């Protein structure tokens, strides 16, 4: 008996000895995730990726390959790839995370709905709307069943599905979902919660798309007031709200009203996020487009160029947002009759979009049309015809 007791003690000591590095590995995993999150929020996606990759390795070694912490690490890396436009790299990670969550929690758990939303959002980014819709609908059904019809997470799912419909031009399908989401958030969180402001912004964006500017403006203004009160006047979300209202004014030709809002949004983002953050590029693009519409080309060009440089550095040279900047700068040159300067920018934008988004994405059709128009101005009608046909095929497939 005495000998057996010694064996038991020995086993306990071994177990305790093993527990020390496991605890250290857990701490390491948490540290990697915290550092990665900080870099993500700073827009330093390339720097965050090695940390996220190491987080997966540590999670697998510490918790096992089917543990939910592995799924969390996979989600983080997939999100970084998505931000860089590396959709083909992100998709298998999101799918593996979803499979882990389904196996660990069952198919009807709210966290499975979160994983479904991540994958659906990736498909939406790629214009793969038919792939995204059933995932969003399944996520919504899971949340309604598990959490009840009035839970804020149900509102988030409604919002996602509505955004998908808006992207497709299905405005009549989107509006009741946005309205129901808004009602849920107001009831659950109160009328002055930042999530209510998000919902107001989304509904306003739908109205703006439809040209319902008088319906959109009070929603944008209410959202701006809520965010300023809840988060302070210099929060990045306030900048987003300012940018939204500025775009509405720009659509209406109210350029004098739009410009100070764009400038204030830019100042907030630069101060809060630093001058090289991708959100700063978004703000620069908005202001440059405003100047372009006013014929202030000399003011617009350096902003377009700075936005392009920020995106290339932060997101990589093959990101769809880089294509957006190239397309904008090329359009500026085209308006000035600088067709030879516009052509290579349009061609590079088209190549990026085709690679990142696939040949049937609406952005591909738009850039192909722009390039064709420029080529015709250069007297190269036969070459232009090929791009016109390419755009027409994309439009036809998406009907």
Q: State how far the Cα of 102 lies from the Cα of 105, in Å rounded to an integer.
A: 5
The CA-based angle 158-160-162, given to 5 degrees, is 70
Question: What is the pLDDT, as a whole number, of residue 23?
Answer: 82
Q: Which residues of the chain have pLDDT under 70?
A: 1-21, 398-399
Domain extents in the chain: 321-399
Question: What is the pLDDT, as a whole number, of residue 256?
Answer: 97
Which residue intervals of 42-128 are DSSP H helices?
45-63, 68-83, 87-105, 110-125
The position carrying tokens 């083909």 is: 88
The yes or no reply on domain 321-399 and CATH 3.40.50.10420 is no
Neighbour tally for 261: CB within 10 Å: 24
Q: State how far the Cα of 111 lies from the Cα of 123, in Å rounded to an integer.
A: 19
**371: exposed, middle or buried (Cβ count in 10 Å: 0-12, 13-18, 19+):** buried
Q: State how far the Cα of 339 lies from the Cα of 376, in Å rounded to an integer.
A: 10
Question: What is the pLDDT, as a whole number, of residue 307?
Answer: 96
Q: State how far the Cα of 39 lies from the Cα of 51, in Å rounded to an integer.
A: 10
Q: State how far the Cα of 300 lies from the Cα of 323, in Å rounded to an integer.
A: 17
Question: What is the pLDDT, as a whole number, of residue 356?
Answer: 87
């Amino acid at each position: 008996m005495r000998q057996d007791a010694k064996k038991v003690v020995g086993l306990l000591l071994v177990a305790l000895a093993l527990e020390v590095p496991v605890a250290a590995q857990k701490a390491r995993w948490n540290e990697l995730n915290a550092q990665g999150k900080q870099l993500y929020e700073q827009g330093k996606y390339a720097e965050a990726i090695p940390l996220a990759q190491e987080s997966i390795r540590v999670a697998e070694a510490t918790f096992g390959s089917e543990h939910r912490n592995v799924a969390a690490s996979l989600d983080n890396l997939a999100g970084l790839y998505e931000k860089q436009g590396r959709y083909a790299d992100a998709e298998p990670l999101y799918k593996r995370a979803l499979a882990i969550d389904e196996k660990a929690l069952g198919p009807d758990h709210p966290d499975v709905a979160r994983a479904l939303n991540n994958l659906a959002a990736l498909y939406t980014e790629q214009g793969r709307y038919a792939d995204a819709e059933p995932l969003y609908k399944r996520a919504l059904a899971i949340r309604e069943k598990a959490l009840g019809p009035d839970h804020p997470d149900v509102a988030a799912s409604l919002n996602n599905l509505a955004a998908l419909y808006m992207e497709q031009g299905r405005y009549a399908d989107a509006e009741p979902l946005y309205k129901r989401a808004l009602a849920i958030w107001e009831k659950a969180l109160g009328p002055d919660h930042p999530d209510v402001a998000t919902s107001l912004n989304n509904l306003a964006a739908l109205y703006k798309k439809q040209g319902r500017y008088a319906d959109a403006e009070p929603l944008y203004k209410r959202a701006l007031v809520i965010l300023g009160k809840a988060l302070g006047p210099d929060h990045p979300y306030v900048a987003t709200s300012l940018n939204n209202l500025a775009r509405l004014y720009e659509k209406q030709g109210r350029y004098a009203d739009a410009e100070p809002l764009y400038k204030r949004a830019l100042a907030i983002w630069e101060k809060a996020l630093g001058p090289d953050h991708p959100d700063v590029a978004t703000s620069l693009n908005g202001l440059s487009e405003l100047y372009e519409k006013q014929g202030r080309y000399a003011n617009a060009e350096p902003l377009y160029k700075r936005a392009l440089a920020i995106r290339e550095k932060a997101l990589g040279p093959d990101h769809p947002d880089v294509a957006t900047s190239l397309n904008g700068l090329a359009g500026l040159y085209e308006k000035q009759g600088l067709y030879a300067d516009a052509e290579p920018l349009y061609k590079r934008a088209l190549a990026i979009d085709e690679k990142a988004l696939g040949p049937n994405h609406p952005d591909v059709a738009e850039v192909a049309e722009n390039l064709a128009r420029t080529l015709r101005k250069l007297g190269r009608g036969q070459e232009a015809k090929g791009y016109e046909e390419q755009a027409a095929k994309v439009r036809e497939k998406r009907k």
